[in-house]
Structure 1
């Protein structure tokens, strides 16, 4: 694990890498749906808060997924 990177960021980025073959919008939708179905509510909220803080360590698709997740 990378030092200083929260687990939810690492996991979101790993999930985003699995959807790299899709367009960013499609990937973000798929990621958000996965997170909604699988992740613990505390992890989802931590990711949303992290993305809203302007963090730059999230894959762009993961960051967009966090914004979509907030709207679900």
Structure 2
């Protein structure tokens, strides 16, 4: 998983939603978009990057996107599924 690409994509999503007049609605829009359209492994990688090394890449999450992810982390965290039957 290319973390720089994930951060760039998240920031582009944030750029779109940040122009909304309602700040809370915009934050929810970012999180909802990522939840609906990113597969679980992409969301896991983004959350891990935020936890482990948010500034270790050539590009950083915007403050707006970081706020959206932190504020909606529970919805963005993929549900672990059991592979045992």
TM-score, structure 1 length as denominator?
0.76
Greater CA radius of gyration, 1 or 2?
2
Show structure 2 runs of 5+ residues with no match.
Answer: 76-85
Report runs of 4+ in structure 1 exceeding 4 Å deviation: none
Q: Judging changes above 3 Å, is the alpha-carbon distance between structure 1 residues 14 and 34 closer, same or farther for their aligned structure 2 residues?
A: same
Root-mean-square deviation over aligned CA pairs = 2.2
TM-score by length of 2: 0.66
Q: What runs of 5+ residues in structure 1 fail to find an aligned partner?
A: none
Q: How many residues align?
A: 69
